[in-house]
Chains A and B, each alone.
Chain A
Amino acid sequence: MFLPLLPAERLRISGGAPPELPYALVENVRGGIRLAAVDARALALGIVPGLTLADARARVPELATIAHDTAADAALLDWLADACDRYSPSVANDPPQGLVLDITGCAHPYGNEAGLLDDLARRLQRHGLTARLACAATPDGALALARYGGGHIRALPVAALRVDEETHLSLRRAGLKTIGDVAARPRPPLAARFGAILPTLLAQLLGEVDIRIVPRRRLPAVAVEARFAEPVARTDYVLDVIDRLVGEAADELGKRGNGGRRFEVALFRSDGHVARLRVATGAPARDPAILARLFRERIDALADPLDPGFGYDLVRLAVPVIEPMAIPQLQLDGGAVTDSELAALIDRLSTRLGRNRVRRLHAGDSHIPEQAALELAIGEAGPPVPWLACEPGEPPLRPLHLFDPPQRIEVMAEVPDGPPRRFRWRRIQHDVTRHEGPERIAAEWWRRSDGKGLTRDYYRVEDARGRRFWLFRHGLYGTEKANPDWYLHGLFA
């Protein structure tokens, strides 16, 4: 699919285009203002992209100009690619103005390939987009046909090879005007003269090698969908359909002996908008009741509720990530049931609150206190480091809570390296009655480019009212820092 007038038509859709005049989108190229794209009217007047603005104005004085916005064009192309997911799960962008769909085995809901193209053309037309569609055996071939028109690849100009400017020029100078001309030549001399890439590009274009597009989304392992003859606008009915799809997907997963880790429902609105609901589970799951409940939680947690607009005409449930899952065996004491109950709770919480709001602690491989513990979302594996065991009989040497970053405090302590006597934190004075330290923790100088870093002297202190704190002096007095700062790093129980 090639969209020759995408930037200009984007402006018209968004209402930023002048209604009457021909217009062009301009950008600064190498110190001059040039036209990046033009609309159909300007094109009919002989204005083509690449002209300088001065030349264009000389030909058409009333030409309106608007700044070119490549980011918005890319966003529209992405949106289109999302909407094209309805035809095939395998869609790739060909920026700036092309899309490739791998419709192998996807055409049957529309009768045949021509039916699919008709449907796509009708939808694009409804959006006011001009598109040239073409089918070919390879993605490169299809793009070239869509871009340059014509019925056969061999009749296309050599520009369809997408070689660089210099090679293109030398091909034309050699009298090779069409793909057919180039293809008729023996390949080794071509490679010797125009570079080794040329035969490869040629083979791709002619379908001599079988290449696949790299889809924007990973192809799901399991996908089930429901199509409606008429758009459905009732959310309740859509929820029922999701439940039914979940049941079908669960059957499919059950047959394969797998469970899904991620699930995604895509709701295709008839006007092209696609709403996606994603659910992740901590362990492979295929229980339809649990999954249906997770999707309902997800819909409840949406910041803005689902807007059916003119209705959905396609709902697809995809399971992108699957893992082997054995049939759970019930233990006599109900052990397996308890595990799955906990897993269901954790999945429900992470679906409703967000994945990184439900976490577990993992030991970090560092002696720097704030890096010795990691909080990771459920399902993420930490480094295989055990927690440091503690000596029997010792009081806790590490605090229960850690401030990140440490909090700056004012401390009265003996110089050069005496323990803190009194400190002020959050406007409250604390008199230290008991202390232990220093525990000296050096910076990770071997990881730093300058090989330095301030040493920290940690003290466990207790104040007159029994509150226990973890303080440190940042830098050795005199040698590392003239007047080291003090920080409060944690609270003991």
Chain B
Amino acid sequence: MSRSAASLTALRAKLLTLGPCAAVSGTLVQTGSPIVDARLGGGLARAALHELFADDGDYAGAAAGFALMLGLRARAGKPIIWVREDKGERGSGRLYGPGLVELGVDPADMFLVTGRDAAMVLRAGADSVGCGAVGAVVIETWGNAPALNLTASRLLALAAARSGVLTLVLRLGADPVPSAAATRWRIKAAPSSALVMAPAASAPGKPAFDINLLRHRGGIAGFEARVEWDRDRRSFSDAAGPGAALPGGVPAIAAGRTVADIGRRAA
């Protein structure tokens, strides 16, 4: 009994090295936040699919901002393609050029693509991911998009592994379902730290996020962290305050379980 369990674990470990997550050991995108990078073992895999979950409406702005910032760090001089559904515009408004500039993105480096429904968005997204001349692709879907199933996400992940394009799937108002994503995050906005200048002490400060790693294909344990975006350095930094990253504070998924979990999902 225990021998078969051991061989099963070994087989699963072998499967992991064969799948698209073999590319996880490729180049990494550093977030710039020392704590997060240390926990991730250097950063996020570039040639991989990452899922960002957020409650729609409430945290749509924060999650989109986080995706944009990751894309900006990964893009290496290449453009970012943002693919979204028409209903995204009703949900959170249109992407606004001056706001992109305020986050450190040159709007000339962005292509906005809209699709009528999730299927159209996924097809356009898959095409963009397959193109090596693209720096990062953000695919934004609203609600539990049934089109974004395990097959679709695996196709995206394989295309990303081939082309080396950072692929971020922004899932607003969706519940996590099995997918081929290398990492899965839940993003929330966090209260910003006060500005240093005295007269504006009560003003909202730099964008701050509470990020929660829900799952990592490489077996890294989940954690929570609070990060801040520094536009001038185009980098994340650790933010102080309640709920900031506590080393080992939140054992979201035990390390031993993760492999089994991945094995089950991959099956």
Residue positions of A touching B, CB distance < 8 A: 338-339, 341-342, 345-346, 348-349, 352-353, 357-363, 369, 372-375, 378, 387-390, 392-393, 395-404, 426, 428, 433-436, 460-462, 464-468, 490-493
Contact = CB atoms under 8 A, between A and B. Distances in A.
B103 A491 contact: no
A1 B24 CA distance: 71
B99 A396 contact: yes
Nearest to A374: B97
B112 A375 contact: yes
Interface string B126-165: 0110011110000000000000000000000000000000
Interface string B161-199: 000000000000000000000000000111110110000
B251 to A, nearest CB: 24
B133 A353 contact: no
Interface residues of B, number: 62
Nearest to B83: A349
Interface stretch (B10-18, B33-41, B52-60): B52-60
Interface of B: 57-62, 64-66, 68-69, 78-79, 92-103, 106-108, 110-115, 120, 123-124, 127-128, 131-134, 188-192, 194-195, 200, 202-208, 210, 229, 231-232
Most buried by A among B99, B101, B128: B99
B238 to A, nearest CB: 16
Contact of B206 (A338, A372, A373, A395): A395
Contacts of B205: 395, 434
B111 A360 contact: yes
Given A462-B204, A466-B208, A349 B61 contact: no
A285 to B, nearest CB: 16
A369 B96 CA distance: 9
A434 B112 CA distance: 32
Given A353-B114, A467-B59, 18 more contacts: A341-B133, A352-B124, A353-B124, A358-B111, A361-B100, A363-B97, A372-B97, A387-B98, A387-B106, A396-B207, A398-B98, A401-B94, A404-B94, A462-B204, A464-B191, A466-B188, A491-B61, A493-B68
Contacts of B102: 390, 396-398, 400
Given A345-B128, A466-B208, A491 B202 contact: no
B101 A461 contact: no
Contacts of A462: 191-192, 204
Query: What 6 A-B pairs come out closest when comparing CB atoms?
Result: A493-B65, A491-B61, A373-B97, A436-B203, A396-B102, A361-B107
16 contacts: A361-B110, A374-B97, A387-B107, A395-B206, A396-B207, A398-B98, A399-B93, A400-B99, A404-B94, A434-B205, A435-B202, A436-B200, A466-B192, A491-B92, A491-B93, A492-B207
Contacts of B190: 466
A358 B208 CA distance: 30
Given A395-B205, A468-B207, A353 B97 contact: no
B98 A373 contact: yes
Contacts of A338: 78, 132-133
B93 A346 contact: no
Contacts of B106: 387
Most buried by A among B101, B114, B207, B210: B101
Nearest to B192: A462
A395 B204 contact: yes
Nearest to B90: A403
B96 A398 contact: yes
Contacts of A435: 202-204
Contact of B61 (A388, A395, A397, A467): A467
A352 B115 CA distance: 10
A348 B127 contact: yes
B98 A372 contact: yes
B128 to A, nearest CB: 6
Contacts of A358: 111-113
Most buried by B among A396, A402, A467: A396
Given A401-B64, A493-B207, A466 B189 contact: yes
Contacts of A352: 123-124
A216 B197 CA distance: 65
Given A390-B231, A493-B65, A399 B99 contact: yes
Nearest to B130: A345
A442 B85 CA distance: 33
Contacts of A399: 61, 93, 96, 99
A342 B208 contact: no
Contacts of B69: 493
Contact of A339 (B100, B133, B200): B133
A338 B61 CA distance: 32
Contact of A360 (B112, B206, B231): B112
Contacts of B133: 338-339, 341-342, 345
Nearest to A301: B120
